Structure formats: C-alpha cells, structure tokens
Structure 1
C-alpha cells in the first residue's frame, strides 16, 4: 500500500511524498484507511517503501495483494501521466482511492476540480475480459472513466483487443522494465 492514515486525526499519508518515511511518519498512529487495522512501514534496501498490514485487512473493499512491482508501477505511471498528458495538469493524483458505492479501490485516481474522476488501473496478474468489463462498468455507472494498464500475465491478446474495442487503445506496462527498476531500488539506485 502506498497510502495509510493516522488513527487519531484521519490525516491520509502518501508514502511517496516522504523522503525517509521511517523518520518522518509516526508509525504508532498508523492504521489502514480501509479497515483501520494496524499497519507499519517497509523502507529498506530490499523493499521499496510502502505500508503493510500487521494482520490481514478486514475491509469489505475488493482488493488483492499488490507486488512491489505493482506499487512501483503506480508511482511511475502517475509520474508519466502528469509529465506527458497535459489534460491532467490541473488534476490531483490520489493513490488507492476508495469508491464506497461499489467497494472498489482505484490504483491511481485523477481528481479534477469539477468533480470528474479518471481511474488508471494497473493489472499485472491474469484477468478475464469479463472481469475487466465488470470492474469497468462499476466505475462507469458512477461517471468514472477508466484506463487499464496491462503488464505481466494480464498483457494478453484478449485483454488488449478488449481495450482497443472499448477505448480505441491498449496501454501496456513493460514488466521487465518495472522489474529492472525495482531491482535498481533494491541496490540503492534512484529511479
């Protein structure tokens, strides 16, 4: 997880905004923003910085375990979007944005001042086009537009064709690049 909150104030924390989270965040006050379960910080030489549950998340939001590459992908795609897509220049980036009405969590939510939300979902694990369709429809019913970024096991011909039919394009993540950047982080290199 890239986000958490302080139990006493409800203040949301985005770990990507901290240079040294272990020194800057009071981990005794940290809880999951979805279930309020106790969480802590990983930020070492072998793992990219992120929050993790002490016990399992008890939230009723649909969510799955995320690999370090998935978390890194969220950061890199958010940077890419802000840098190269001028239409997002006035949008606020929020990681792991909850959509209460459908109990889903958007990987990267682009929030516009007028209330419009654009979801950018990263899918690295295998998924069917039926599941993609269901998740997309849940968002669309609420007026949320969705972009899917496929990588690793999800970057399959059927999923790419589905995305092209739905959106006129298919976005892919080079998993080897993600994995390489993750290994660079483990070696202490900046990306």
Structure 2
C-alpha cells in the first residue's frame, strides 16, 4: 500500500497531496498511474481505517526489498515524516534538505531497499527512518541497518506492535539507531 505512484510523464504523485480518491481520479484517469518501482498499473484507494494510498493492479515485481504494509504502518510512515519535518524544519525551509516517503535506494543491500522515510540533504547525505510494527528478528534489524550504512546513510528505527521486543530494542540500542517506540491509535 504505497503512498506514491508515477504519472505517464514520469512525475511522482503523492496520495498525501489529495483529499479523496475522487480528487485523484479527476486528475489522473484510469490507466495513467504506475508503480515507480515496477512500472505496473496502480489506482487510488481509501478504505475505512486506512490512509489514502495506491494499490497495484498486479503484485509489485520490484526486486528492491519491501514488505507488505498494514494501515498502521502507513500511518507510522506519516508520523515519522512529521517528526522529521519538525526536527529538520530549518534545513527544509532553506531547501538544504527534503523528506521523501518510500525513498528508493537501489545501491543499498543486495537488491536495493525502499526506505520508509528519508531525509535527503543537498550534500547527498541521508537519514533513514524505518517504521517496524510487524514481527522481525534482531538479525534483520542488523542487516537492514548495515545495508543503509553501506551507502553512508544513518538510520533511526521506530519500533511498535510485534516488533517492539526486548531483543529488537537491544539490537537497535547496540547499533545506536533506536529512535523509540511508535504507538498510536489509527484515526481516519
């Protein structure tokens, strides 16, 4: 359930820039939105207890590492984005940085990764915010962190739900990448 699609001209379309599915459909007719990662057709969707987002007409075929996302995970990405907006407001206002949800990094890891949220600085430096709510092993936190370190990016992990275990917290603390827990009630 990504927040971004690509139009026929290759421009990124963010679901967060619109108020409704109808508004997106008025601006982008059927068959004119594509996955920015695998190029398959996408369409807008908003269901009860979810944010406005895009859905593939067929499963995403990108080789970049990505995982299924719950409505809570989508909301978590928005919360991390808001957090980064606040922390880096001065740099964003000065156009020294921008924030991107679902930031593709083809050179991170074996097949690349799609970071949940990234602060991208004009120097090329990146800070990655990873929202993890589903069960994950500490070894996966180490590996994903190392994949981001391999491109000289820093990482902050926001753990919640089934991912917020003592082992995962310790892994994130050991790596000095533990941002804290993310617990919220989803609201429409």
**Shorter chain as normaliser: what TM range?**
0.7 to 0.9
> Which structure 2 residue ranges, 5 or more long, are not aligned?
none
Contact 2:84–2:119 (Cα < 8 Å) also in 1: no
Which of 76, 80, 83 in structure 1 is aligned with 2:79? 76
Structure 2 residue 13 is matched with structure 1 residue 10 = no
Contact 1:81 1:88 in 2 (8 A): no
Q: SS where residue 163 of structure 1 aligns?
A: helix
TM-score, normalisation: structure 2:
0.87
Cα 1:166–1:86 change in 2 (3 A) is farther
Task: Give the helix-richer structure, 1 or 2.
Answer: 1
Q: 1:46 to 1:33 in 2, by over 3 A?
A: same
Q: CA RMSD in A?
A: 1.8
1:80-103 Cα deviation digits (max 9, x unpaired) = 221245576442111111111232
Equivalenced residues, count: 178
- Of residues 29, 33, 38, the one that matches 2:36 is 33
Report the 3-state secondary structure (helix = DSSP H, G, I; strand = E; otherwise coil) of the residue aligned with 2:129: strand
Matches within 5 A, 1:179-190: 180=185, 182=186, 184-185=187-188
Alpha-carbon distance between aligned partners in 1 of 2:144 and 2:77, rounded to the nearest angstrom: 18
